[in-house]
Amino acid sequence: MKKILIANRGEIVERIIRTCSRLNIETVAVYSSADKDLPYVRQATKAYEIGDPPAAKSYLNQEVILKIAQEENVDAIHPGYGFLSENASFVRKVEEHGIAFIGPSADVVESMGDKITARKTMIEAGVPVVPGSSEIEDVTAAISYANEIGYPVMLKAAAGGGGIGMQRCENDEQLQKAFASSQNRAKAYFGNGAMFVEKFIDQARHIEVQIVGDKQGNIVHLYERDCSIQRRNQKVLEETPSPFISSETRTRIGESAKAAAEHVSYTNAGTVEFVMDQNENFYFLEMNTRLQVEHPITEETIGVDLVEWQLLVAEGRSIPMKQEDIMPTGHSIEFRLYAEDPSTFMPSPGKIETLHFPEMKNVRIDSGYESGSTVSPFYDPMIAKIIVNGSTRDEAIKTGQAFFERFSLTGIKQNSPLFAKLLAEEKFQQGNYSTAYLSENLTVKK
């Protein structure tokens, strides 16, 4: 490959450009009018403004993006995460234009994008799934099924992601109230109002496994990430290896993820997500057919560049490592730095006056902003990813504590005080937490 277009914005574009620059690959970036002053626009070989700030008028405008790709004669399009990354229609259009899509096939994207279809497929693959329904059209059917499997349950959007259209329900009344609003959100965000009901796993861990497949039929897993620190069903902190699971479970969950990928003939990078109970029983949640936000912690512990692997696979080349050669070392934790109130988790868009990342050993910064940048209200408010590493988990935690003591950002609210408090919590230091941890244990004074 000589030139690729990156159909995304901010941090992930900078991340992809970094690998492409090292490999002497030219990059074409796109940006909305709200993002014209962000660093990635300057870092790309070329950059094009593609529309107004709303995503539907810019980053989701398939025709404009494809037109630029053709005019620039790019070899491939990298979708990053979010936006068009899991849009099967876009994948097909890219390939129809004779351009490689840096991701899995349209058929895989389509089948795994619908959570109900994905559940059925995983059952066929022999992968354990959470007890749940097929598509449910109305609230009466939802209540009937919930009573059949027992409360609490999770009401979910079949085409959902990022916690959108998802709600925990404790009884008929809550499910009755939640159904219409969740369905309307799903229609608005995904153009699909299909819903389903799933058994809620109490005190659950969210464990995911990175997988990569090539066009020669080789598939490997790169071990797990623990993504259980969440707010509003959205990840805030991820770490690897998980401080919770045993070596036996680590082996089993990796093998299950690999089996899931093999069953659908998966190519390129992806992630198989599981929910795990307190007895280390795990169940399939979904397959993300793209590069994950939290991929850097896998890179840090395995010692690979996953974007480079994505490019190799898209070129038709083989994965450069065999399963037996993949062995993680050390510990890595990723903090998602958001422009949000650390006590309410409400977004806090605005202009960043100063942004200072202290230069430290064993710290990696993947940032999309700089001093003077404006965090727009139109997109996800993530400012940067802070990745800290250590030979042990304790070392990584201490590095994180030292980092946040020296980190500074002025002009808008941001959630670094949450991380400073979290790292000092005994339960977190012991690895004793679930997806309910933030809501049940942690508050940050304004």
Coil, strand or helix: which one is 432?
A: coil
Coil, strand or helix: which one is 195?
A: strand
Q: Give me 152's structure tokens.
A: 């609490």
Q: Active site residue: 205, 231, 250, 290, which one?
A: 290
Q: Give me 405's structure tokens.
A: 């003591």
Say how far apart CA 355 and CA 408 lie, in whole Å: 6
Can you point out the beta strands (E) in 23-152? 26-32, 46-51, 76-78, 100-101
Per-residue DSSP letter, 318: P
Q: Give me 403's structure tokens.
A: 């980092």
15 is catalytic: no
Judge whether 224 and 207 are in contact, CB under 8 Å. Answer: yes
Coil, strand or helix: which one is 224?
A: strand
Q: Give me 129's structure tokens.
A: 């799934």
Token pair 């001093």: residue: 371
Q: Give me 367's structure tokens.
A: 């940032």
Strand partners, 168: 154
Judge whether 297 and 240 are in contact, CB under 8 Å. Answer: yes
Judge whether 204 and 154 are in contact, CB under 8 Å. Answer: no
Q: Give me 75's structure tokens.
A: 């070899």
Judge whether 256 and 128 are in contact, CB under 8 Å. Answer: yes
* 174 burial type by CB count under 10 A (0-12 exposed, 13-18 middle, 19+ buried): middle
Helices (H), 274-374: 295-302, 306-314
**Cα–Cα nearest to 20, from 71, 64, 69, 80:** 80
Say how far apart CA 129 and CA 17 lie, in whole Å: 37
Judge whether 51 and 64 are in contact, CB under 8 Å. Answer: yes
Judge whether 384 and 53 are in contact, CB under 8 Å. Answer: no
Say how far apart CA 385 and CA 382 lie, in whole Å: 8
Say how far apart CA 332 and CA 181 lie, in whole Å: 38
Per-residue DSSP letter, 232: T
**Which residues have a catalytic role annotated?**
290
